[in-house]
Homo-oligomer: A and B are copies of this chain.
Amino acid sequence: MSDPSSMHDFEDIDEVEGAETRREPTPTRVPGAPSVPNPAAIGNPKEDLASLDGLERHLYAHRYAEIGIDCYGPSIDPSRATADRGEAQAILKEEDQALLCSAGTGALLDRLASESSLLSPMQRAQVRVLHRDRDRLVGVPAQKQSALTRLLAESDQVWHKAKAENDWTSFEPYLNRIVVAMKEIASLRDPSRDPYDVWLDEFEPGTDRAFYDNFFAEVKGAVVPLYAEIRKRGWQPDRSVIEGHFDERRQWELAHDLMALEGLDPDVMFLTSTEHPYSDALTTNYAIIAAHVYPDDVVSNVYTMLHEGGHALYETGVNPAFNYTSLKGGTSMGMHEGQSRFFENYVGRDRAFAPRLLEVMARHFRGQLGRVTPNQFYLATNRAEGQPIRTEADELTYPLHILVRYEIEQALFSGEAKAADVPALWRKKYHDYLGVDVKDDTHGALQDSHWSDGLLGYFPTYALGGAFGAQLRHQMIVEGMDWDSVLGSGDLAPIREWLRDRVWQWGRAKDSGQIIQDACGEPFSARYYVEYLDEKFSDIYGLR
C-alpha cells in the first residue's frame, strides 16, 4: 500500500517566501519543489478547487509510478539495478514531499478546510487526508527522508543475503541504522510523541502503544493459555490427507480458480510469482497479486491466494471515483489485513466452506485430494501448532508471532535492546509464548523483510486486522446473515456486498476506527476475536 504525496502547480501565482501559517516548521526548499501559490493570498474557492484537482492529478501519476516500481522492481529487476531503482524512487518521493510540504499547499489545504461548507463530502475527505499526509511529512527535510529511502534499498539487499546465509551479524548494523533514522524522523514529525507511537499511528491512524498494549494483553491473556492447553492435550488432526506432490503448473491454474471463487474480476487482475507474496493496486482497475507455489505444499498456495485476494477485493472495491485522488486504496494496514484475513480465515478456514474449497482443489488434484472428506480437510487446515515461521502460522498462534515482534520493536525503540540483542530475545519469546525452539536466525529474526524495509510499527496491524475481521463477521451474523449457508453455497456475493458497503467503498475517506463504529454500531473491541478463537479451537480440540 502506499502513502501518497507529490507534484503539481497553481497557475500563474508567484511564490512568496516566509508567509507561513499553522504550526509546522519551515520546510527545507529542495530541488524538485514546484512553484506554489502565495500562502498569504485570499482564496478564491473555485480556483482552490481547481488547484486541489491539479494537486490530486499529479499525486496520482506519481503514486502510479511509485507503486509500479515498488511492486515489480524487487521481484523482476536485474541484480545490478538496485541502486538505480533506489535513486529514482528517492527522487520521486523527494518531489512528492516537496510538493505536499510547500507553504502553498499548506495554505491551500487550510483555505479549503475553512471553506468546508462549499465542498462535497468527497472533497472534504480529500482535504482531511491530504492534510494528514502533509502533517506527517512537513517537518522532515526531504533529504532525511530520501536518505532513509536509500538506506532501505541497500538494507533490503543485505537482508536477502543475510537470510540466505543465516548471518544476523551482517544485517545488525543496518537494523540499528534503520531504528536511528526512524526515531529521528519520528521526532521531526512530532517531537511531543514517543517515536514508536508515531510509527504505530503511521500504519494505523489513531493507534499507539497504549492501544496495542491493551489489545495484546487481551489476546495474550486468552491465546497463550488456550494454546498451552492444546499442547497439553497432545492430540493433533491428521495433516497427511492434504500432503503430496502437486504439479506447479496446475497449482497456478488452481490459483486462477481461487480468484474466481473469491469473486475477483480477472479483467482487473495481474497474477505473478515471487518469493514473498504481496498484493497492491494501482487503481480499482489494476490489482496485482504476487504469489508463490511449492510443489510439496498446495495448502500454502491456497491460503496465500485467498489472503492476497482479500487485499485485492478491498482495493478494487473502493469507490472508483476515488481512483485519481488521495482517497484511493485501503484506509489502513489493519483494515487491509482485516479483509485479507477475512477471506483467508473466516471464510477459507471455516467448516462450512471446506466442501466448496476442497471441490475446487480436487478439480486440479483428483488423485491427491479426491478421497479427502471436507471434515478431514477442515481439521487438517486448522491445526494449532507452534512452529518458527510467521507466514506458515495457523490462525490461533499467529497473533503470538506478532506479539514477539511488537515487544522487540518496542525494546529497539526504547533503547532497551540493540540489534545485537534481537536473536536472543527472539529465541526466549518463541520459547515462552509458542513453545518453539528456534534453530537459527534464518528461521528466526531474519525471516521477515519488514525491518529491512523500514516497516517497524507495521507488524501489530496484522494481529489487529484479525480482530477487525472477527468484529465485522460477528456483525454480519448479528444482522441476520446465515453464515453457514452463505459459505456452504460457495457464492460469497452477500459477504462481498456487505463488506463493499461498510468497508471497501470508503477507501481512505474514513479511518478504521470510524469504519468499525459505522459498520458495527459500536467501537472496536478485541472481544469478538478472542471469543471466536476460543470457541473454534476449543471445539476442534475438544477442550470444553
Contacts and interface: CB of A to CB of B under 8 A. Distances in A.
Interface of A: 7-12, 14-17, 29-36, 51, 54, 57-58, 60-61, 64-66, 68-69, 72, 76-81, 83-85, 87-89, 91-92, 95, 98, 265-270, 272, 282-283, 285-287, 323-324
Given A64-B88, A88-B64, A58 B81 contact: no
Contact of A78 (B31, B36, B269): B269
Contacts of A58: 31-32, 91, 95
B286 A77 contact: yes
A177 to B, nearest CB: 24
A376 to B, nearest CB: 36
Nearest to A287: B78
Contacts of A83: 285
Contacts of A269: 78
Given A11-B29, A31-B58, A33-B9, A64 B84 contact: yes
Contact of A7 (B15, B32, B77): B32
B31 A84 contact: no
Residue from A54, A88, A98 whose CB has the most chain B CB atoms within 10 Å: A88
A12 B15 CA distance: 10
B61 A92 contact: yes
Contact of A72 (B32, B54, B68): B68
B31 A95 contact: no
A266 B35 CA distance: 43
A49 B73 CA distance: 32
Contacts of A17: 12, 14
Contacts of A31: 8-11, 51, 54, 57-58
A15 B272 CA distance: 47
B76 A65 contact: no
Q: Pick the 6 closest A-B CB pairs, nearest first.
A: A35-B35, A31-B54, A65-B65, A34-B34, A61-B91, A64-B88
B11 A81 contact: no
Contact of A34 (B33, B60, B77): B33
B7 A78 contact: no
A85 B268 CA distance: 12
A270 B77 contact: yes
Nearest to A324: B87
A65 B57 contact: no
Contacts of A285: 78, 80-81, 83-84
A36 to B, nearest CB: 8
Contacts of A8: 31-32
B323 A270 contact: no
Contacts of A98: 9
Residue from A8, A10, A66, A323 whose CB has the most chain B CB atoms within 10 Å: A8
24 contacts: A7-B95, A9-B32, A9-B98, A10-B31, A11-B30, A31-B51, A33-B35, A34-B34, A35-B35, A57-B91, A58-B91, A60-B87, A61-B91, A61-B95, A65-B69, A68-B69, A72-B72, A77-B286, A78-B266, A78-B286, A79-B267, A80-B285, A84-B286, A85-B282
A57 to B, nearest CB: 6
Contact of A15 (B14, B64, B282): B14
A78 B281 CA distance: 11
A54 B94 CA distance: 12
Residue from A11, A91, A95, A98 whose CB has the most chain B CB atoms within 10 Å: A91
B88 A61 contact: yes
Contacts of A14: 14-17
Contacts of A65: 65-66, 68-69, 88, 92
Contacts of A282: 81, 84-85, 88
Given A15-B15, A32-B9, A268 B68 contact: no
A130 to B, nearest CB: 16
Residue from A15, A57, A72, A266 whose CB has the most chain B CB atoms within 10 Å: A57
Contacts of A64: 69, 84-85, 88
A58 B7 CA distance: 12
Contacts of A265: 80
Contacts of A267: 78-80
A265 B79 CA distance: 11
Given A65-B65, A84-B286, 18 more contacts: A7-B95, A8-B31, A9-B32, A9-B98, A12-B17, A14-B14, A15-B15, A32-B54, A32-B58, A34-B35, A60-B88, A60-B91, A61-B92, A78-B267, A80-B285, A80-B286, A81-B268, A81-B286
Given A34-B33, A57-B91, A268 B80 contact: yes
A528 B400 CA distance: 74
Contacts of A69: 64-65, 68
Nearest to A265: B80
A265 B272 CA distance: 25
Nearest to A33: B9
A205 to B, nearest CB: 26
Contact of A268 (B35, B78, B91): B78
Contacts of A92: 61, 65
